[in-house]
Amino acid sequence: MLTAEVLDAVGGLTSHIKSYAAKLPPIVHLSAVPSAIKPSFEAVEGYETIVSRVRSQSAGTPYKTLNESFVSSLEAFEIGNLLGAVQPLLSVLDHLARMQRDNEIEIGRIDDKRLTEYRTALHKILPGNQPELDGAGGGL
């Protein structure tokens, strides 16, 4: 398994999460979505396929340590816990950056750009990234 393949998986999962997030009303508390608003069976099946592929291909590679985060993300996605699905993927991206820094893996310029793009896309899904909320929580 190569870094590009791991990033392909993260990109696919990010796409599933973005599609699901777009269907949610903006005022829903994202960690406790009502049971009527869960990802479709097809979306969950697609997500699970990506996670299964990563798990099977990562055996015996430095990427094997990422499997737990991918599974955590899948479990959260299945029940509609958007934040629970995003956080493990951000953890995967952080882990890849650490592996690169520690010279365990090499990430080329193109893959480094993809890593940044996926991180940005996932951060945009998190609450508090809406422009109308800028400055909120700053006190009086």
Residue 135 lies in a domain: no
Contacts 24+ apart (CB under 8 A), 21-29: 21/82, 21/125, 24/82, 26/130
The pLDDT value recorded for residue 109 is 92
13 falls within a domain: yes
Instruction: Please check the confidence at residue 135 and state whether its pLDDT lies above 50.
Output: no
Residue 131 domain flag: no
Span 54-64, average pLDDT? 91
Give domain status of residue 18, yes or no. Answer: yes
Whole-model pTM: value is: 0.82
Q: What is the predicted pLDDT for the residue at 35?
A: 53
Total residues belonging to the chain: 140
In a domain, residue 136? The reply is: no
Domain contains 133: no
pLDDT of res. 24: 78
Domain count, the chain: 1
Query: Which pLDDT value is given to residue 140?
Result: 40
Predicted confidence (pLDDT) at residue 25 exceeds the cutoff of 60:
yes
Q: Residues 79-108: what's their mean pLDDT? A: 92
Q: Provide the residue range defining the domain that includes 115.
A: 3-25+33-126
